[in-house]
Amino acid sequence: MMLDETDTKLLRILQHDATLSNKELAFRLHKSIAAIHERVKKLKQQGYIKKTVAILDRQKINMGLISFSQVFLKAHTAEVLNEFEKEVAKFPEVMECYQMAGSYDFMLRIATKDMQAYHEFLRYRLAVLPHVNTVQTYFVLSETKSETAYPI
């Protein structure tokens, strides 16, 4: 499916506020409510809209420590890579996991309550995975920008 100008505008608006009703979206885009409803439905069916979520204030829910961990594996076979991805995806602390090109294999964004919680996660969950060789972690001191909307 090719996106037209209305679809692009709709996606741009929804990225910033997915709580808007079809009525509000229709008013902003100068379309009928039924047309907007069908477009949103189609965008979901086509996979452009993967899910609708609430973005929480991590400080208010006691997830004050964000870290980025570079993970080096002992081997790089498809089986090892798939097994690592499957296991790390089970950890609720892991917010994002990316396989990387370069000197390390994976980059993880990890959210924990504090340094002690991170230490326990590292020692008893991440580092004990069978194919993990080394984990190098960087801790976030401050957050200048955190965006969820893509520039479309």
Domain ranges for the chain, please list them. Answer: 5-45, 65-139
Domain 65-139's class?
A: alpha beta
- What gap in Å lies between CA 19 and CA 56, rounded to an integer? 14
List the chain pLDDT tens, one digit each, 152 residues. Answer: 789 999 999 999 999 999 999 999 999 999 999 999 999 999 999 999 999 999 999 999 999 999 999 999 999 999 999 999 999 999 999 999 999 999 999 999 999 999 999 999 999 999 999 999 999 999 999 999 999 999 99
Helix (H, G, I), strand (E, B) or coil at 127: coil
* pTM exceeding 0.85: yes
Three-class DSSP labels, 53-76 = CCCCCCCCCCCCEEEEEEEEECCC
CA 6 vs CA 10, 36, 39, 98: distances in Å: 6, 9, 9, 32
* Size of the chain, expressed as the number of residues it contains: 152
How far does Cα 145 stand from its chain's mean position? 15
- What gap in Å lies between CA 134 and CA 106, rounded to an integer? 11
Do 57 and 111 touch, CB atoms closer than 8 A? no
Domain 5-45's class?
A: mainly alpha
